[in-house]
Amino acid sequence: MGGDHGPPVTVAGADLALDRFGTRPVRFLFHGDEARIRAELARYPRLADRASVRHTETVISGDEKPAQALRRGKGTSLWNAVEALRAGDAHAAVSGGNTGALMAISKLILRMVGGSDRPAIVAGWPTLTGVTAVLDVGANIDCDADQLVEFAILGSAFYAAVYGGDGAPRPTVALLNVGSEDMKGHQEVRDAHAILRAGKLDLDYRGFVEGNDIAMGAVNVIVTDGFTGNVALKTGEGMARFFAATLREALSSSLMNKAGAVLASGALKALRTRLDPSSVNGGPLLGLNGTVVKSHGGADARGLANAYLVAANLAGSTYLQDVARNMARLSAPDASPEVEPSTGSAA
Amino acid sequence: MGGDHGPPVTVAGADLALDRFGTRPVRFLFHGDEARIRAELARYPRLADRASVRHTETVISGDEKPAQALRRGKGTSLWNAVEALRAGDAHAAVSGGNTGALMAISKLILRMVGGSDRPAIVAGWPTLTGVTAVLDVGANIDCDADQLVEFAILGSAFYAAVYGGDGAPRPTVALLNVGSEDMKGHQEVRDAHAILRAGKLDLDYRGFVEGNDIAMGAVNVIVTDGFTGNVALKTGEGMARFFAATLREALSSSLMNKAGAVLASGALKALRTRLDPSSVNGGPLLGLNGTVVKSHGGADARGLANAYLVAANLAGSTYLQDVARNMARLSAPDASPEVEPSTGSAA
């Protein structure tokens, strides 16, 4: 389980999540200090009926290095949560613990579906038209063309599972690039573009987009390397804070502005929560043979509930099968008559 | 001259700029269609007294490739403006024309101060504490460590010249990187960090910053490769549009919000112009032996005035000397007893 706030928040978040699961018979398997978890569960009888607890004595601390976590992680709550997934005791794992440790342990236990060195982290970015999935936002700093193509496969399947819904069209996918004619980006981006454009994959690939297209919601899935994606996400986060602070200042600069701000305070409050691309909690680690979702360490119960919802949506979807199918298409020999450029649906 | 709107805007912008030059005896040398320019100048007698015109018959069009512009650019207004700079007839050149052509022609005529293949483009990004200079935002897509170090030298000298003022402390400089402990970015970024940290240069180097530090104004100058910088700048631009649209929508969602919006409309208008990092016109091409400023093709007279002001500030400063001094320090042998880690001022 983990996270900065421990069982009070992880359990309260699970109870909140029950409201959002609707009729789905989702159950919770908590890993951690059994006495503390049971004490919290006693406050939520509805959740207690749908929850089990596995006691663990040890935890991985926030500052432990991944290599260290791999060596001495066995028996910790984080390790056991991922192991339960591999063993089939759970369909998804959610953790608010140490990200590097979660990645390393998940990779060791579940293995990767492709050639990436680390699972990709996807951000659900609020946009003018809804949410755009941006990946990788930090795990894989140097990416070759094959990795970028993998991210396109992973992102498309993720988007269909979490935001698509039944009968929705295939998600639109694009590569993040720079704009001017003379500079069409790194070689890796151009090579990935050529592979994606060739049409072997079951993807609705739309070509290149630029940074300003992210918040405009130009496409559903935007693919980039972890360095660029991390900078973009954090730039957006900084802009959201800048915007909130500037707005506050502008609206307190005169009596008339102040009166206006009071009248419009409901709208301004709603706005603030919608603006920050890093405010949507629950970043799945994509590329693993299994569903692992990273929750912010500092997330509150509402944030945890969102992470559980993302995990349940992924686990209850055809995400893993969609990924496997496209990975097989990718490694199939070129120009094979059996592999037509597809027009079918991935969702 | 160039730009989408031609003489009416380039001349009107020059007249506006006169107000902002104060007592400085700045003069204008316009290149282009003499009859059209003179017709505009007739409307601004104050400017006409301080302006000369050189007639040109040909222009470089917006869609011309740099190689083409180099071949047949001689005698165009763009070429002549840069040539006048080299000849000493002008101290700075401002152009709203084709960016690729401006770069190629400037590089050919003026030469680069260092090893970069193209001049770096710097953005003046509005932040909570003022303006942060971010470079490169698009010219040099793949950058090695030496180029990043050059950008730090160029950006620091630029910031001191344009935003620093007399007696201001040296600008603070940082490298843009990703945050988590396990992923400290590309090799190039780490190598540049090592060079900058070694203290050979006359720079106030502060180490790494992340994307969210840009809009917070954590430092004065942020250095990155042209790919990452372009994505960050355009992501910020998209966020600004997203905020404006979301705010508009939120404030028209109920009668009370609408009333509030009317009361606060002055503040909201001021806000919109402050938010967009791409709204500050006048991006100097850094790294040339001379001051060349690129204005947006679509800029209005106010935008042009700002570009002229940036050009005049740079040309009237010790920018070129500051750059030359640090480039010499950079190429000086390591551990030379003459080169002390400096604590002096660059401004």
CB contact under 8 A, B264 and A262: no
Of B176, B227, B246, Cβ closest to residue A186:
B227
Interface test with A, best of B132, B144, B190, B212 (most A CBs within 10 A): B212
Interface of A with B in 168-197 (CB under 8 A): 176, 178-183, 185-186
User: Class for domain A1-113+288-299, per CATH?
Assistant: alpha beta
Give the C-alpha separation, B326 to B157, whole Å: 9
Give the C-alpha separation, B257 to B249, whole Å: 10
Task: Kindly report the nearest CA distance between residue A267 and chain B, in angstroms.
Answer: 5
Contacts of A128 in chain B (CB under 8 A): 242, 245-246
Interface test with A, best of B182, B275, B276, B279 (most A CBs within 10 A): B182
Tens digit of each residue's pLDDT (9 = 90 or more) over B120-167: 999 989 898 889 999 999 888 889 999 999 999 999 999 999 998 778
Interface of A with B in 264-283 (CB under 8 A): 264-268, 270-271, 274-275
Task: Kindly report the nearest CA distance between residue A227 and chain B, in angstroms.
Answer: 6
| DSSP-derived secondary structure letter, A161 | I
Selecting from 3.40.718.10, 3.40.50.300, 3.10.310.30, 3.20.20.70, what CATH number does the domain B120-279+318-347 have?
3.40.718.10
pLDDT at A182: 43
Contacts of A61 in chain B (CB under 8 A): none
Amino acid identity for residue B189 in this structure: V
Amino acid identity for residue B265 in this structure: S
Cβ-contact B283, B294 below 8 angstroms: yes
pLDDT at A345: 44
Contacts of B100 in chain A (CB under 8 A): 180-182
The answer to whether domain B1-110+281-316 and domain B120-279+318-347 are alike in fold is yes
Contacts of A268 in chain B (CB under 8 A): 250
Contacts of B243 in chain A (CB under 8 A): 239-240, 243, 275
Tell me whether A131 touches chain B (CB under 8 Å): no
pLDDT at A164: 86
Q: What angle do CA B341, B346, B347 make, to 5 degrees?
A: 160
CB contact under 8 A, A267 and B254: yes
| Residue B339 reports pLDDT greater than 70 | no
Q: Which SS3 state, helix, strand or coil, does residue A82 take? A: helix
Contacts of A127 in chain B (CB under 8 A): 242
Tens digit of each residue's pLDDT (9 = 90 or more) over B48-99: 999 999 999 988 988 888 999 999 999 999 999 999 999 999 999 999 888 8
Nearest residue in chain B measured CA to CA from A139: B183
Give me the interface pTM, i.e. the ipTM.
Answer: 0.86
CB contact under 8 A, A260 and B256: no
Mean pLDDT in order along chain A per 10 residues (347 residues) = 78 94 92 95 95 93 90 94 96 91 95 88 89 92 93 96 88 88 75 92 95 94 96 91 79 68 65 63 89 88 91 93 94 61 44
pLDDT at A298: 81
Selecting from 3.40.718.10, 3.40.50.12160, 3.40.640.10, 3.40.50.11540, what CATH number does the domain A114-284 have?
3.40.718.10
pLDDT at B245: 82
Closest alpha carbon to B135 in B147, B146, B127, B73: B147
CB contact under 8 A, B182 and A66: yes
pLDDT at A247: 77
Task: Kindly report the nearest CA distance between residue A230 and chain B, in angstroms.
Answer: 6
Helix spans in A174-254 (H): 187-197, 212-216, 226-251
pLDDT at A62: 84
CB contact under 8 A, B239 and A241: no
Contacts of B251 in chain A (CB under 8 A): 264, 267
Tell me whether A241 touches chain B (CB under 8 Å): yes
Contacts of A178 in chain B (CB under 8 A): 138, 141, 226-227, 230-231
Tens digit of each residue's pLDDT (9 = 90 or more) over B203-253: 999 999 999 999 999 999 999 999 999 999 999 989 888 888 877 777 776
- Judged on CB neighbours under 10 Å (0-12, 13-18, 19+), A23 is exposed
Cβ-contact B183, B193 below 8 angstroms: no
pLDDT at B288: 96
Interface test with A, best of B222, B235, B256, B279 (most A CBs within 10 A): B235
3-state secondary structure A7-68: HHHHHHHHHHHHHHHCCCCCCEEEEECHHHHHHHHCCCHHHHCCEEEEECCECCCCCCCHHH
* Helical axes A265-275 vs B226-251, angle rounded to 10°: 150
Q: What angle do CA A47, A50, A51 make, to 5 degrees?
A: 85
Of A158-162, A273-277, B31-35, B299-303, the range with the lowest mean pLDDT is A273-277
Cα distances (Å, whole numbers) of residue B60 to A165, B32, B282: 51, 11, 20
Domain ranges of chain A: 1-113+288-299, 114-284
Give the C-alpha separation, A67 to A195, whole Å: 34
pTM of the model: 0.87
3-state secondary structure A163-185: HHCCCCCCCEEEEECCCCCCCCC
| Residue B263 reports pLDDT greater than 70 | no
Give the C-alpha separation, B294 to B311, whole Å: 9
Per-residue pLDDT, averaged over B312-321, amounts to 93
Topology given in CATH for the domain delimited by B1-110+281-316: Isopropylmalate Dehydrogenase (3.40.718)
pLDDT at B63: 86
| Residue B341 reports pLDDT greater than 80 | no
Tell me whether A34 touches chain B (CB under 8 Å): no
pLDDT at A166: 79
Give the C-alpha separation, A94 to B195, whole Å: 41
Helix (H) or strand (E) holding A270: helix A265-275
Task: Kindly report the nearest CA distance between residue A38 and chain B, in angstroms.
Answer: 34
Give the C-alpha separation, A250 to A237, whole Å: 20
Interface test with B, best of A219, A234, A268 (most B CBs within 10 A): A234
CB contact under 8 A, B186 and A138: no
| Residue B344 reports pLDDT greater than 60 | no
In sequence order, which residues have a C-beta less than 8 Å from that of residue B61 and are 6 or more positions away?
Answer: B98
